[in-house]
Amino acid sequence: MNDQLKEFRVSNDAMNDPEELQRRIADEGYLFFKRLVNPDRLWELRREMMSMIQQVGWLVAGTDPMDGIADINMRYTEGDNEYSAGYAEVYKIENFHRAGHWPEYLDIIEKMVGKPIMPHPQKIARIWFPKYTEHTTPKHQDFVHFQGSYDNITCWAPIGDCPIELGGLAVIPKSHKVDRVLDHHFSLGAGGLIVDETEHEDIDPVWYTTDYEAGDALFFPALTIHQALPNYTEDKLRLSLDNRYMLVGDNVAEHMLTPHEPSLLTWDDIYPGWQSDDLKYYWKSYDNPVVEKDLSFGEKGRAEAIEMARAGNEHAIYALKRGVKNSPDTVAPEVLALLDELGVEV
């Protein structure tokens, strides 16, 4: 393990002790379990998802999809139209959505929160290309993206093994104790927002992670600071799940009732190939209050990107160019004028 990274505490010893789990997550701001789910189920899901990823052309043809050998001429990420095209095919896979409802996850989350929960309809898969590290998910608190309630729980799980060099998730224990949403700033990485934990004296900026194995799962509440580690492998894709769970009766932000945005899909695009109906629109039988998405976090990041681009920041210029390329119809005239002024070809 990298010198600066510490190893997670494993909480399997407390799996059947809800009070102890509640104490630990309240104190540490995360819970990590080894082999919470039978690894075979993850390997099966990996086969299905990686086979699709190979079909969309992102894995080297003729290699075993289980090895996840990326064609690195095709490095795409969230925000690229090319990413959306491939991700949409993966996003339609029924078993990928079903994984967010596996009883192993639901049972342990109910124990750690001590109340009934509902999985958010918006499931997320991360398909991370090697050596594309400028786009890695930066340090953040999930609330800025998923909103609704501080009590939401994120579950992050690799689909297969995920040693540190493949870029798994790392957290700062106890960082949730800041008990507020910290200022986030523009970042080129996934989600587009980064927090600087060193600006806050009440946070001890020590990062914890592990060499994840198939079946392992990490859980944390919406204020815990975390990031993905860079995928430094030569040629391997990192494939993982990140799903969110809410207390029944809590607020849910409206965008969490829709498919993950980079897929550019609606539920009606997703459902036709499914074998079973039980998960289709399942959330409609709950009456959780739906609240509007707070756009201020993203708007602040975009405003900063414009300022930083004006000052010559390469990441900000890249992000603005990407916006123009992928959503030419919605791009602000101010952005076009700025890129023109900077002499940037789009």
Ligand X SMILES: O=C(O)CCC(=O)C(=O)O
Site for Fe ion, rule CB under 5 A: 142
Q: Which does 240 bind (CB under 5 to 8 A by kind): ligand X, Fe ion, none?
A: ligand X
Q: Which does 228 bind (CB under 5 to 8 A by kind): Fe ion, ligand X, none?
A: ligand X
Residue 344 Cβ, how far from ligand X at the closest point, in Å?
28
Question: 143 in helix, strand or coil?
Answer: helix
Residue 87 interacting with ligand X (CB under 6 A): no
List the x/- string, 210-229, binding to ligand X by CB under 6 A: ----------------x-x-
Q: What is the separation of C-alpha 212 from the centre of its chain, rounded to a whole number of angstroms?
A: 16
Residue 117 Cβ, how far from ligand X at the closest point, in Å?
17
Of 76, 80, 72, nearest in space to 236 by CA: 72
Residue 233 interacting with ligand X (CB under 6 A): no
H or E segment at 228? strand 226-228
Residue 197 interacting with ligand X (CB under 6 A): no
CB closer to Fe ion out of 28 and 142: 142
Residue 10 Cβ, how far from Fe ion at the closest point, in Å?
21
Q: Give dist(CA 183, CA 188) in Å, integer.
A: 16
Q: Give dist(CA 57, CA 52) in Å, integer.
A: 9
CB closer to ligand X out of 93 and 143: 143
Residue 169 interacting with ligand X (CB under 6 A): yes
Task: Please tell me the count of residues contacting ligand X according to CB under 6 A.
Answer: 11
Q: Give dist(CA 51, CA 46) in Å, integer.
A: 8
Q: Among residue numbers 122 through 151, which ones bind ligand X (CB under 6 A)?
A: 126, 137, 142
Burial (CB count within 10 angstroms: exposed 0-12, middle 13-18, buried 19+), residue 130? buried
State which amino acid sits at residue 36. L
Residue 154 interacting with ligand X (CB under 6 A): yes
Residue 260 interacting with ligand X (CB under 6 A): no
Distances in Å between the alpha carbon of 157 and those of 277, 315, 325? 25, 29, 32
Residue 256 interacting with ligand X (CB under 6 A): no
Residue 154 Cβ, how far from ligand X at the closest point, in Å?
5
Residue found by looking up tokens 């750690």 in the block: 112
The pairing of beta strand 153-158 with beta strand 252-253:
unpaired
Residue 190 interacting with ligand X (CB under 6 A): yes
Of 29, 28, 34, nearest in space to 15 by CA: 34
List residues near ligand X by CB under 6 A.
126, 137, 142, 154, 156, 169, 190, 226, 228, 240, 242
